[in-house]
Chains A and B, each alone.
Chain A
Amino acid sequence: MNNAQDNPFRSEKALKRLRRRRNADMRFQGYGIVALGFALFALVFLISAIAWKASGASTYHVIRVDLELSPQTILPEGDASPEEITRNIEGFYSLVRNDLLTRFPEANETVQSKRAFSSLIDRMAVLPLAREVADEPHLIGQTTSVDVPLSDDVDMFLKGAAPRAIFLRVGEASSPMRNAEEGDFKIEVDRLNKVSAKIAAIGQHGAEPTVLLVADKSVGRIKSMEDGDVILEILTGRQDQFDGASVKAVIIPSPEDQRSVSDQQIAWALALKAEGVIKRVPHFSLLTHTDSTYPELAGALAALVGSLLTMLVTAAVSIPMGIFAAIFLEEFAPKNRLTQIIEVNINNLAAVPSIVFGLLGATLLLGTFGLPRSAPLVGGLVLALLILPVVIIAARAALRAVPPSIRSGALAVGASRMQAVFHHVLPLALPGMLTGAILGMARALGETAPLLLIGMVAFVAEVPSSTTDEATALPVLIYSWASNAERAWEPMTAAVIVILLAILVLMNLAVVLLRRKFERRW
């Protein structure tokens, strides 16, 4: 009786089988956790990479100066009409530039240096200022504080993105001694000799790195260096500012001819920054400006509004159409071969690549019906077609989830079929239907390909005001900014991706709330 072999709880075979089963169980759970962990890691990595990139675009550098808006410069012809004011960009530009030029006599010396100095600010950067003045003409003749965005190349340098620079505090400088050559002088810097080996190692491909020394508002470039003795060439400012000043070294590994900003421009920018003229401010214009060829001026407003208008059209078409189609198919249509074919095709339609819908929109809506190109109306219709199958499938699933006993109950008290559906089934299915619709909308919001084909990829400088205006959409903007060459577009693109993701998260949040609020049990 006490034999272990006879006891079903202790027999070797049973225990072995049990162990095997338990191991299989654990293995399966392990796979699940690994898969989940990988997905989670990928998600976190993706989001943080984008957020990190985008954080570079959350602030930018502007030149903040007090300007007297003298009528002679901004209104050379004396005409104060808004059109005339906004057209005279050159006037505003020279106003800003001349104000800055007074600080840097060396920039005025040659045509080249003047041109180099001018490229610190793009000409179009004063356009918002001109528009503001055009809106408020009483500002003319007054002194006002203006913000003008810095050229993207300089902005990128100051943010430390490109070209890369290393900032080092190198201690106090000795009194400068005049050197043989004009403009050069020799100083001793405390700790420079300790880092000189490091500096030499930084140089790219054997080239010597550029090393600038900054003391207060003066910047000099190191011509040669020996045991902490350096021969310095003044780029801007005065050599006597180095006398006993605490010196900062700016080491730029890449050679000057391979960068978009010259040493001289960097020197000016550093001096302006030291003076407090260049400020780093939140980049609100990303949300308030429309597209531009200059990254520092570009914003996503037009695309945001374009996306919104497109979504409006999509929602207005796809939600009622999808829900009613689902109600008809699920509740009223006879189950025969025809409805079966329709059903199969709806499911197939959901798997059609989105670009095909773009082609359809291009030929049918633009070609046959002659609707305007690049318009949110067309984009919205195409996207509505694209998500219609998704909406229908979700709505049908929601209807099917309503227990048939509710329908029978309604029919048994003498409700007509339509009354049963609209009074009892629909209210129960609606949260599920709207969930599907919002998820469909989220998909439509992220679609790029069909919009490219109907011309919503156009450069749009005006905020669209109706569904037939020329417009673009957020994902298309991402696409076009991402294909720009300049480095400054990279964080901008990431920032727009963050905006798009934020909207998607909001939509999904709406789904969750909707479900929680209206979910009913029966």
Chain B
Amino acid sequence: MDTTYDPALAGEGADDGQPLLYPRIDCRDVSVFYSGKQAVFDVSLPVFDRSVTALIGPSGCGKSTFLRCLNRMNDTIDGAKVTGEIFMDGENINSSHIDPVLLRSRVGMVFQKPNPFPKSIYDNIAYGPRIHGLVDDRQELDAIVEKSLRRAGLWEEVKDRLGQPGTSLSGGQQQRLCIARAIAVRPEVILMDEPCSSLDPIATARIEELIDELRKRYCIVIVTHSMQQAARVSQRTAFFHLGHLVEMGDTDQIFTSPRERRTEDYITGRFG
């Protein structure tokens, strides 16, 4: 697989469902400051479409912070400042004329802890399409809810109790509900911030299967603490340390023959 960044390929799509490696998002010299303290240092990273990119690294290395740059969730934090350029479809999403609300409808996000709204399962999914005006009538909405739940692999479990509160589901189901909620607004990119860290191994396995399924349609960026998980689900891996991007490349290459010493130390368990 050719993994080097080729701008000529940017923006081209393919419908065969096969992973097609061209950068969907291209980050250049991204730095993040929290109240003047720098947390991420000049990270340049292409994120490829129809693949899973895993961000790994020890706690506090800035991988979550970097992830949150991709849908400008850092805007909601007081004192956070992002510099550098992040291109998506030829637009710098950090520029002031990009509306973060619009951006977030194209870049969905799943959080560490499942956070369904305290509403019905149906309303959890329907909320996004409603506020974005994606549907005209109830039937269309029903269709979106069903499709999203099916893609998240939750439909069979909840189809008879869509009116029940989303918080009544189990942890793993809640997380899949959150994924379905993110899918419902038809994003192109899905960001996942340690989506399995609060789940048991069985629920984790289901989510991982789901991620593998989803990568056929979406560009997925996942932050994970578990190197096994990164090895299992991702095609590309980026290793962060102390706010710096140390190394990135194909997952196989990172885990078998890392170029950097620090990467090797980390994945062999010598620190972190």
Contacts and interface: CB of A to CB of B under 8 A. Distances in A.
B181 A405 contact: no
A419 B71 CA distance: 17
Contacts, number: 69
Given A334-B78, A521-B167, A414 B115 contact: no
Categorize the interface residue count of chain B. Answer: 20 to 34
B255 interface: no
Interface in A392-411: 403, 405-411
B202 interface: no
Contacts of B127: 410, 413, 415, 423
A424 interface: yes
A428 B118 contact: yes
B131 A405 contact: no
Interface in B92-127: 101-102, 104-105, 108-111, 113, 115-118, 127
A334 B71 CA distance: 21
A335 B80 CA distance: 12
B116 A414 contact: no
Interface in B60-88: 71, 73, 76, 78-79
Contact of B117 (A334, A406, A411, A521): A406
Contact of A411 (B104, B118, B132, B167): B104
A335 B128 contact: no
Given A335-B78, A521-B167, A415 B101 contact: yes
B52 interface: no
A522 interface: yes
Contacts of A408: 73, 76, 109, 111, 115
Contact of B111 (A334, A405, A417, A521): A405
Interface string B191-219: 00000000000000000000000000000
Contacts of A416: 101
Contact of B115 (A335, A409, A428, A520): A409
Given A406-B115, A419-B131, A413 B105 contact: yes
Interface centre among B73, B108, B131 (most CB of A within 10 A): B131
Given A409-B111, A521-B167, A414 B132 contact: yes
B165 to A, nearest CB: 8
A411 B113 CA distance: 15
A412 interface: yes
B185 interface: yes
A228 B111 CA distance: 99
A75 to B, nearest CB: 71
Contacts of A403: 115
A412 B131 contact: no
B185 A413 contact: yes
B178 interface: yes
A406 B113 CA distance: 11
A411 B111 contact: no
B40 interface: no
A431 to B, nearest CB: 12
Nearest to A407: B76
Contacts of A520: 118
A414 B185 contact: yes
A409 B127 CA distance: 11
A407 B117 CA distance: 9
A414 B178 contact: no
B182 interface: yes
A413 B73 CA distance: 11
Contacts of A428: 118
A414 B102 contact: yes
Nearest to A520: B118
Contacts of B132: 414
Contact of A412 (B102, B109, B113): B109
Contact of B101 (A405, A407, A414, A522): A414
A40 B111 CA distance: 48
Contacts of B78: 334-335
Contacts of A414: 101-102, 104-105, 128, 131-132, 185
A403 B181 CA distance: 18
Contacts of A405: 111, 113, 115
Given A424-B117, A521-B167, A411 B131 contact: no
Nearest to A416: B101
A409 B124 CA distance: 10
Interface string A417-454: 10100011000100000000000000000000000000
A416 B76 CA distance: 11
A413 B108 contact: yes
Given A414-B105, A414-B131, A409 B71 contact: no
Contacts of A522: 118, 167
Contact of A413 (B102, B104, B167): B104
23 contacts: A335-B79, A403-B115, A406-B117, A407-B76, A408-B111, A408-B115, A409-B181, A410-B117, A410-B127, A411-B76, A412-B71, A412-B110, A413-B108, A413-B128, A413-B131, A414-B102, A414-B104, A414-B132, A414-B185, A416-B101, A419-B131, A522-B118, A522-B167
Given A335-B79, A411-B73, 17 more contacts: A334-B78, A406-B117, A407-B76, A408-B73, A409-B115, A409-B178, A411-B76, A411-B104, A412-B71, A412-B111, A413-B104, A413-B181, A413-B182, A414-B102, A414-B105, A414-B131, A414-B185
- 8 shortest A-B CB distances, which residue pairs? A414-B105, A405-B115, A412-B109, A413-B128, A414-B104, A409-B115, A416-B101, A335-B78
